[in-house]
Amino acid sequence: MKFNDVFVVDDDKIYHFLIKKLLTSNNINLNLSFFENGLVAIEGIKDKIEKGDTPPDLILLDINMPVLDGWQFLEEYKLLKDKIEKDIIIYIISSSDNTVDKDRAKDFQDEVKDYYLKPVTIEAIKSIFSI
């Protein structure tokens, strides 16, 4: 699948830098938007819907963030899904290798396509972006 607009929802600025570098070095050109917590990302989606803009094609979501964490983001997203005219692909990319988190991701199988561990690898990028 071809992605154009991507939301990166993660409070780690170093991760923002690394994801930009990985994408650029693999000639993946996207419109990237960075959000430091789930609340501003949800607001970003709502804002796009209200303006009649296309919501993101892809969301790379961290779990552990301040204000609204990844799980809370997913709960809010479930409430919004019906207002969105397309499916948004969501991948969790987290430093948590905890079985509880991986199992909890399965509770969101309608929303979350897959779960990747940080640090994100070139293999994960290739898998997500089908290159």
Residues 41-75: tens digit of each pLDDT: 999 999 999 999 999 999 999 999 999 999 999 99
> Higher confidence at residue 130 or residue 5?
5
- The pLDDT tens digits of the residues spanning 15-44 come to 999 999 999 998 998 999 999 999 999 999
pLDDT at position 1 is 64
- The pLDDT tens digits of the residues spanning 88-131 come to 999 999 999 999 999 999 999 999 999 999 999 889 998 998 86
pLDDT at position 131 is 61
C-alpha to C-alpha distances, 21 to 4, 5, 33, 55, nearest whole angstrom: 17, 17, 14, 24
Please name each of the domains of the chain with its CATH number. 5-129 (3.40.50.2300)
C-alpha to C-alpha distances, 38 to 20, 68, 124, nearest whole angstrom: 20, 5, 22
